[in-house]
Every structure is written in C-alpha cells, then in structure tokens.
Amino acid sequence: MRYISTRGGITPIPFSEAVMMGLANDGGLLLPEKLPPATSDEIAAWRQLDYPDLAVAVLSRFIDDIPHVDLERLVKKSYAGFQHPEVTPIVKHGECHILELFHGPTLAFKDVALQLLGNIFEYLLAKSGGRMNIIGATSGDTGSAAIYGVRGKERINIFILHPQGRVSPIQERQMTTVLDDNVYNIAVQGTFDDGQAIVKKLFGDLTFKEKHQLGAINSINWARIVAQVVYYVYAALKLTGEGRPGQVDFAVPTGNFGDIFAGFVARRLIPEQIGQLILATNENNLLTRFVQAGDYSVSSVRPTSSPSMDIQVASNFERYLYYLNDQDARRTSRDMEQFAATGSLQFDPARLARIQQDFVSRSADEPATKATIRDFHQAHDYLLDPHTAVGVYAGLACRRADIPLVCLATAHPAKFGEAVEAAIGRPPELPPALAALENLESRCRVLPAEELVIKDFVAQHAL
C-alpha cells in the first residue's frame, strides 16, 4: 500500500515514510492510494479475532513494509497496557452500546492510537538509526496521551507545552508525574494559543526543524487514523452477523475530524456492517453546519465543558474533502486555498447531497450536554464524560429503529470531574490510576511564552 497527498504534490510513498512525514511535504494530508473493501472471507475470519489480533489483520491492509512478526509485536505491546482484557469493551445501556475507548494509560481514547504510534516511531527509528524530537502544545488531553505514547523510548525526546495553571489539576499531574529522561514538560506562562503559536514557529523554521529532526504527534498522522479504524471494525463485527442485526450506526464526538474519519475509512472496509456515522459537535458546531447546510465557515472558538472538541478548523477535514471531490487533488488544493483565504467554503446541492449520504450530524449545547450526563446517570447508573455525552445526545437524536447504536466513549468521566459534578451533584469516583497521581513526584519547567526561550530550551535538550 502506498500513500499519496490530498494535494497531489508528492510521489507515492510507503507507510513507513508516510508515518514519519506526518503532514505531507506539499502541505496536504496523506491517504492510502486505494481503499478496497474487505472480502466476505476476510470478514468471517475477522469475527473470530480478539482485539490485538484484529488490529494486526486490519493494519496489515494498510502497512506492507513492516514484517508481519514485527507488526504483531508492536501491536501487542501497544495494547498490553490497557486495563481491560478486551481493550475496547462494549457495554449496553438502554439504547446505547457504549464503546469504551478509555482503558489506556491516560484514560482517553487518544491512547488507542498514540500507544501504537510511539512504538512504530521507536521501531522505525531503530531501523534507520535516526532520532526524533517531538514537540507539541496541549490544552490538556493530547499532551498526556502523547507523553505516555513515547515515555522511555529510545531515540525520541518529547517536549510538551501546556499553559501554566490553565489545565485541570488531574491533566497537569498526568503529564508532569512522568519522570522518564526523554520527557520534558514545559508550563508556558501564557495561554494554549501562545504555546501553539510557538510550536508552529519552531516547525516553520526549516533549518531548526531539520537540525533537530522535529516530529509532530498531532492527529494528522495517518498511523493515528488507521489505529482508530480498528475499533470501529471490532464493534461492528461484534454486534452484527448471523442471527443479529446486519449493520450498526456510530455516534462520534468530533473535534479535529480524526476519529470520525477513521469511521469513514472503516465503512469503506466493511460497508455492509457500518451504516450511519453520526457526527456530534458541542457548541463549536462548524461541522454540524457543514453536514446540515453545506456551510463550512469558521467562527471563534467557544470554551465548553468538552474542551477536546473546542475546535473550529478541523485538521483532518481535508481528508474527507478529497473523497468528496472524487479524489481530485487539484480541486482539493483549490478548495483549501480558498478556505485559507476566506475562512469559508460553500457546498452546492449536489455535493451537499453526497455529504448527507456520508454523515448525519447534531450539535449539543452546554445545557443539553449536562442534561444528557444527568439523565443517563439516572436511567442507567452509568457516568458519561462530557465529550461522550455530546455523542450520546446526537446518537439518540439520530437513532434508527432496529439498528444498534454504538456511542464512542472517548474519555473516562473522572477526567472531567467538574462537569460531571455540575450534572449529578457529586464528583465521580477517581479510578486508582488517577487517585495515585496525588502522591507522585512531579517535574516541570516553567518558561515564559517567548519563542526564543523555548527554542533555546529545546535546542539544549534535544537528542
């Protein structure tokens, strides 16, 4: 399998190069050249597999330049640390099959992809004799999942900038209690946007980027998408088949469009078993306007109780746009140029009809999110985190008779204790992994939000 760019500007490359490239060199996003559906024999075989073995089987369709035994070892190592034997178990409550994606080390779904990505990076760097300095800014959740993905790994250092005093105490401790030598937590005296702007500048300095082999770990990396395809296939095959329904629908709390795009790829793989993809947004509902009205126009970001979805410009959107444009890279580049210039794209009725075949969408405002947490808890004695609640709200609004509804649970409720407490009147119980953080030693460097200071720090501590 080779990979191309949505903007058509690179010659096709194998997976191992795609994963190291991250963003395509022409500014586009990388995608597999082809997405053929699985055969019925393959699907029958996949139904027999546990999660790690299914992951190996699904990933093998996209990765043909890592020997099978090695891929198997990387996958098993990635999921051995999950706290549930099924890795991503499904629990049924009322009309929702909740797909729990939060049993990884930082209790958020990003672990599913980042645990694997860290192992793939380490493996490829060992082979090439290279090194990598990962730099990222976080508003809370991604940082810890990225740190846990690469802690203690050879040939990799990671620098994560978080806004000092502006992430929740749990999120801060999840990051700063990781004491491995290759992990550098930097509390920036500024906002998340300040940190993000500095990171962008470091990547924009091509000499600096090359000299220190800067690497990114954000959700535009194809390896993250493909790791997420697995749990859609896993859930769909578990709930369908002989004597059971033919297909399932998925409700997906959406921010950067990475997770729901993985669902789109999964549906290309097993089109009969996956029906509706329900795109759930919070009050930052640009993508809902896109699906409902063909209007993709940026406005300002509003802070909500589901901060990992407080996003306007979804970094993975371009991947879908490429398919919407019938894999026409020229047209996709033109659209993206227009979007960069005007902050807006409008889709004509023909394209809108296509969009509405691919997705349905609902937005949950703050009162609806809170009510969903409260009502779900009352009805089922089960706690949803605010991101998951946005998905459940949209899922229930769009559910179809006799088709199982799978709602992706993207974070453990205890990570967002304040929102849960506001909904049910008491804080959620802390799982042991979070309760233990309290007493752990922590390490963090406080630095001013100045490009040169951060740059200097990275240069001094880079591999």
Ligand X SMILES: *Cc1c(COP(=O)(O)O)cnc(C)c1O
Binding residues (CB under 6 A) for ligand X: these are: 108, 110, 141, 219, 253-259, 308-309, 387, 410-411
Q: How far is the CB of 12 from ligand X (least distance, A)?
A: 25
Q: What are phi and psi of 232, to 5 degrees?
A: -65, -45
Per-position DSSP letters for 407-418, written without gaps between them: EEE-B-GGGGHH
Question: How far is residue 255's CA from residue 390's CA, in Å, rounded to a whole number?
Answer: 11
State phi, psi for 448 to the nearest 5 degrees.
-70, 155
**Residue 258 CB, nearest approach to ligand X (Å):** 3
Shortest reach from residue 168's CB to ligand X, in Å = 13
Q: Which is nearer to ligand X, 135 or 309 (CB)?
A: 309
- Residue whose tokens read 């296509």: 354
Q: How far is the CB of 265 from ligand X (least distance, A)?
A: 13
Rounded distance between C-alpha atoms, residue 245 and residue 247, angstroms: 6
The token duo for 1 is: 């399998």
The residue (of 60 and 196) whose beta carbon lies closer to ligand X is 196
**Angle, helix 349-358 to helix 317-324, in steps of 10 degrees:** 120
Local structure of 217: helix, strand or coil: coil
Smallest separation (angstroms) from ligand X to the CB of 387: 4
Residue 369 near residue 420, CB atoms below 8 Å: no
Query: How large is the greatest C-alpha to C-alpha distance in the chain, in angstroms?
Result: 63
The least CB distance from residue 231 to ligand X, in Å, is 13
The residue (of 46 and 62) whose beta carbon lies closer to ligand X is: 62
Look up residue 434 and give its two tokens: 């979070």
Distances (CA, A) of 396 to 8, 219, 379, 389, 449: 39, 27, 14, 10, 43
Q: Are 99 and 163 in contact (CB under 8 A)?
A: no
CB of 217 to ligand X, least distance (A): 13
Residue nearer to ligand X on the CB measure, 174 or 410: 410
Spatial distance between the Cα atoms of 357 and 264, rounded to a whole number of angstroms: 12
Q: Considering the complex, what minimum distance in angstroms separates the CB of residue 277 from ligand X?
A: 12
Backbone CA torsion sign across 277, 278, 282, 286:
positive
CA distance readout (Å), 46 to 40, 239, 276, 404: 10, 13, 21, 20
Q: Which two tokens stand for residue 300?
A: 């300002």
- Kindly name the residue from 34, 92, 110, 415 that is annotated as catalytic: 110
| 32/258 with CB nearer ligand X | 258
CB of 308 to ligand X, least distance (A): 3
Q: Is 110 a catalytic residue?
A: yes
Secondary structure (DSSP) of 142-205: HHHHHHHHHTT-TTEEEEEEEETT-S-HHHHHHHHT---TTEEEEEEES-HHHHHHHHHHHHH-
Among residues 214, 197, 193, 140, which one has the least CA distance to residue 171?
A: 140
CA angle (28 as vertex; 23, 32 as ends), nearest 5? 80
- Could you tell me where the beta strands, DSSP code E, fall in 190-304? 214-215, 248-253, 274-281, 295-297
Residue 238 or 319: which CB sits closer to ligand X? 319
Catalytically active residues are 110
